Amino acid sequence: MHRTGLPAEKPIFQRRHFCPCPPCTTGDFHHCIYKQFLGKYQFYPTFLLYCFFLKCPCGQQLTAITNTHFVGEWHEENMHINYVEQNPKAVLRAEHAANIRLQLEETLGTFNGFFFVTLYLNAAVQRVSFGYVTRSSSFNDVRFRLHVLQPYSQTGQQPSNYFNFHTFIMPRTLCYVRNCQCPLQHSELIEYSKILTIAVASTNAGNKVSTVGLVDSLSDNNNAVFAFKQSYEDQELSRYKSMRVKLHEPYTI
């Protein structure tokens, strides 16, 4: 969070006639009066004092003439300044959300079949997380409905949280019905700002290909295991890490 400044009350001086002298440009009109008063009319203070002591009405009249003729009318106002709190990452997330939605619409319209996206889940999850996108995925105002996939782990072990870990598992049978109570995995709503990248690349020939591939050695009849293809691994990890740090949280391990 970045604050542009602290709330303050600033005096603003205004005068009816512009004066280019340094005191007037900073609002110090009293010194402007003093300078002109002594510079051209040095006899005038003695005359005014004489009139004041004698309670002569001409002194009051001459004072009014001095204020308006030599200096001009002026007054002071107080301007209340309320500084704005800015969150640079919030601005970046809003811009990214708008862009990634357009990219999702374009990819769904031009890419044949399903594809995967990388997700930011929370600050504690350091590894790359994935979502599964199909024609059944739906757009909402600020969130996108898709299947959030779990990281791969061997039986009896905890999944790795290493920031370069990008192997994940997807059930071969998923449920696409909302508010369903069946035991299959269901879709979830994810904010657009948390969809960091789309795992699709363009070849030199202009064809779009998935940067994620099936890991046959870890897959079985119930679950398919995927990971970044070796030819795209460095590129996709760099993209994901860059977007995660830019939009959300830094890495802690």
Name the token pair of 158: 């905890």
User: Is it the case that residue 68 has pLDDT exceeding 50?
Assistant: no
Cα maximum dimension of the chain: 113
Tell me, what's the pLDDT at 16? 56
Distance, in Å, from the CA atom of 39 to the CA atom of 198, rounded to the nearest integer, reads: 76
Q: Please state, in angstroms and as integers, the Cα–Cα distance from residue 109 to each residue in 24, 94, 115, 161, 166, following that order.
A: 65, 23, 12, 34, 26
Please check the confidence at residue 81 and state whether its pLDDT lies above 80.
Answer: no
Decide if pLDDT at 235 tops 50: yes
Structure tokens, 41: 């009319």
Length of the chain measured in residues: 253
The pLDDT tens digits of the residues spanning 26-44 come to: 666 667 754 444 344 344 4
As a whole number, the mean pLDDT across the chain is: 81
How far is it, in rounded angstroms, from Cα 57 to Cα 79?
38
Confidence band (pLDDT; 50, 70, 90) for 76?
low
Give dist(CA 130, CA 54) in Å, integer.
93
Angle at 152 between CA 113 and CA 186, to 5 degrees: 55
What six digits make up the tokens of 49?
């004092």
- Tell me, what DSSP letter sits at residue 160? P
What is this structure's pTM?
0.67
Q: Per residue in 92-106, is it b (16+ CB within 10 Å) or e — as a string?
A: ebeebbeebbeebee
pLDDT band of 88, cuts 50, 70, 90: confident
